[in-house]
Structures are given as structure tokens and as C-alpha cells.
Amino acid sequence: MKTNVFTLISCFALIQGVANAQNETNRGTAPAKQKDLSQDSLITVDNKLDAGEKKISLFNNLYMGGEYGVSTGYQNFIQGGMWAQIDHDYFKIMSAVAADPATAEQKQLHKNHSKDCNCIETRQLSDVSLIYGKSYQFFKVCQIQFGAGLAFVSKTDKDDAFNSQKHEFEPERYKKRGTVGIPAEARFVIQFKRYFSISCSTHVNANPIKSFKGVSAGVALGLF
């Protein structure tokens, strides 16, 4: 009887010792597993952030570009400028001109003058703008930009009062007016590497003299 009791006590002690050892093992491995999961999560987040930076970095640069197109009420529309893009933001200084071409009479008159005489004037609207905008990327190499800012606007028109009384041999006279306007633009860009892109855009300027808009397409060169 005593032998049986001693055997039972020994078995119970052995089982209790194994259970305690197993609990200690579980306590030691649980923080390690949790730590490994936390490290994996941090690595995944870092990888995603790095991937996002790589996508945006394709567009981060200092650019020079120009576009040619059409404008309402004028035959030609040209715009160009320089801008810097930093992630989703860009800052631009640019100029846009909507103008009529020189007439045959003006070209003939200019032949008798020096090349830098500046005697040819045509009806036109132009602005010099400072623009801040936002860029939105898609399809890896494409982005859409929306921007607005402040501009100085110049308008050149025929001086009808003078022209109605001038002699036949006198050239037509033009007059200029200036004001401040609010420019806005929307651009679609396809980027090739970091150094070259093609784009099409719409440029609008709202001002007290005469608001105007133009649609154009062109290229831009990344400088770095």
C-alpha cells in the first residue's frame, strides 16, 4: 500500500514538473513570435514607403518646356516656362501668348527695316504667371497636374482712332494695356525616364480686360 502511494505521488510530481516546464517555454516563445511579427510588419511598411518614393521620384526634377496650340479668338497659342516638381507639388514660372500672325503688308514693310526693328505688332493677349499646383500619378509614367496662381496680363489691340485717320503710307498703330489676372491650368503628362516628357494642357486666364484660354501640346526636358 505504501509503495502504491509513493508511486502515485512520484507520478503526480513528474506530471506537474513537465507542465511547469511547458508553460515556461510558451512564455519565452510568445514574445519572440510577437517581436518577429512586429518586425515583419515594419519591414512591409518600409518596403511600401520605399516603393512609393520610387514612383514619385521619377517625376521629381527641374523642367523646361514649351507647347504650341490654338486659342479662342486668335490663330496661334504658345506657352512655355520652367518649373520644379517635388513629390506631389510643383512650382512654375511661365508665359502664354495668344496672337494673330503678321499680315502680308507688315511682312513687306519689315523687309525694308533691320531685323531687330520691332516694327511688327499684331493683336495679342499674353501673360507672365507664377503658378502652384498639385500632381496626381497613375500608370507609373503618367500624371495629371492642376495649378493656379497670379499673373501680369498684357493686351495689344489696333488703335482704331489713329488708324482711321492715318495716311496710306503709314503703318497701323497698336496700343497696349496691362492688368493682373488669375491663371489656371490642367496638364496631362507622359514621362519617359527622368529627362523627357510629352504633355497636353489647357491654360486659362481670368482678368478684367479680356479673359482667354488656350489648348496646346508639347514637350518638356528634365534638367537633372
CA distance 183 to 176: 20
**Is 188 buried (19+), middle (13-18) or exposed (0-12) by CB count in 10 A?**
middle
Place of cell 518649373: 83
Query: Are 173 and 162 in contact, with CB atoms under 8 Å apart?
Result: yes
Domain spans of the chain?
1-57, 60-222
pLDDT per residue as tens digits for the range 78-112: 999 999 999 999 999 999 999 988 776 666 666 66
Which pLDDT tens digit goes with each residue over 68-87?
999 988 999 999 999 999 99
In 3D space, the residue among 137, 126, 119 whose CA is nearest the CA of residue 190 turns out to be 137
Assigned fold of 60-222: Porin (2.40.160)
Is the pLDDT assigned to residue 209 strictly greater than 80?
Answer: yes
The answer to whether 113 and 119 are in contact (CB under 8 A) is yes
The predicted-structure confidence for 114-135, as pLDDT tens digits, reads as follows 555 556 678 899 999 999 999 9
Q: State what percent of residues in the chain have pLDDT above 90.
A: 49
Computed over every residue of the chain, the mean pLDDT equals 79
pTM, rounded to two decimals: 0.67
**Least confident range of 98-102, 160-164, 193-197:** 160-164
pLDDT band at 5 (very low <50, low <70, confident <90, very high): very low
What's the burial of 2, exposed, middle or buried (CB within 10 Å: 0-12/13-18/19+)?
exposed
What single string gives the DSSP state of each residue in 157-192? EE-HHHHTT--TTSPPPEEEEEEEEEEEEEEEEEEE
| Residue-wise pLDDT tens digits, 22-53 | 555 555 544 444 445 445 554 444 454 444 44
Q: For residue 184, give the nearest of 104, 123, 124, 94 by alpha carbon.
A: 94
- For residue 210, what pLDDT band results from cuts at 50, 70 and 90? very high
Please say whether the dihedral angle defined by the alpha carbons of residues 46, 48, 52 and 55, taken in this order, is positive or negative: positive
pLDDT of 118: 59
Strands 174-192, 196-206: pairing kind:
antiparallel
Q: Considering only CA atoms, give the Rg of the chain.
A: 36
Residue 17: its pLDDT value, please? 55
pLDDT band at 183 (very low <50, low <70, confident <90, very high): very high
How far apart, in whole angstroms, are the C-alpha atoms of residue 209 and residue 141? 39
The residue behind cell 501640346 is 217
